[in-house]
Amino acid sequence: MEIRHAFESEKDDGGDASLVKPSDWNAGHRIIDPIEALFGTPDTAFEFDTSSLTGLTALGTAAAEDADTTVAGHYYVKNTQTGAPYWSGRYTTVSAPFTAITKFTNNAQSNYHCSALFISTATPGAFDFLSQGFNGVSTNGGIALLRWSSNSAYSNNPANLGLAHFGTWWLAIVATSTTNVAYHASTDGKTWRRVILARDPSMTIGSVGIAASAQDSTYGVSAAFDYLRIWNSALTLPGT
């Protein structure tokens, strides 16, 4: 995003390169988001500022999804599925070490509504969902790590973050190796809280993605993801 001054100078720049020029004043000013400020340019990025979902494979069956259409500059996914397969979204291939970060908001408002950043096998089978959930998943509006043995079968709940928050979330999965994975969450993208450290997910990690699930609710859930960014290294997140 860029902002510009309400006043723009019409004067010429002149010949003194040591002075601030009218063109400098008139130029747009780019606002850098906290993730870019902390970690720079990712190795792979899906920014959703066009309608293309190229590079991302569909997971499950979404009731509706698009990029840069329903919510400008976001991947929008709506899930009304109350039976298997439960999760719908998009994923891409990945291999450890890596760090994946997403930013999103959702309309979780009923039991077992979830939106998540996840890892799975190359052809998604077993899942670790780092999920913002409603009642029945974690503290209302909080973060839970959910293990699913498939998109049709919940397995267990390895960890919860005791922080209720219904606004924007940043989620991060840091894989040092396929047997050493950390899960983190943030409400501002600047400082992070760990959900669980050094977990062995008991899978050969081959994909990472974003998804939403209505599970057993009679109401649908939708989420707007700002991006999915991936670095080919295990980053250190401030505060963890």
pLDDT at 176 over 70: yes
Question: What is this structure's pTM?
Answer: 0.87
Residue 4: pLDDT band (50, 70, 90) is: low
Q: Which domains does the chain have, with CATH numbers?
A: 1-31 (no CATH), 34-231 (2.60.120.200)
pLDDT digits (tens, 9 = 90+) for 46-104: 999 999 999 999 999 999 999 999 999 999 999 998 888 999 999 999 999 999 999 99
**DSSP, residue by residue, the chain:** -EE--SS---S---S-TTSPPHHHHHS-EEPPPHHHHHH-S-SEEE---SS--TT-EEES--SEEEESSSSTTSEEEEE---SSS-EEEEEEE--SSEEEEEEEEE---STT-EEEEEEE-SS--SEEEEEEE-TTTSSTT-EEEEEEEETTEEEEEEEEE-----S-EEEEEEEEETTEEEEEEESSSSS-EEEEEEE--SS---EEEEEEE-TT-SS-EEEEEEEEEEESS-PPPTT-
pLDDT digits (tens, 9 = 90+) for 120-133: 999 999 999 999 87
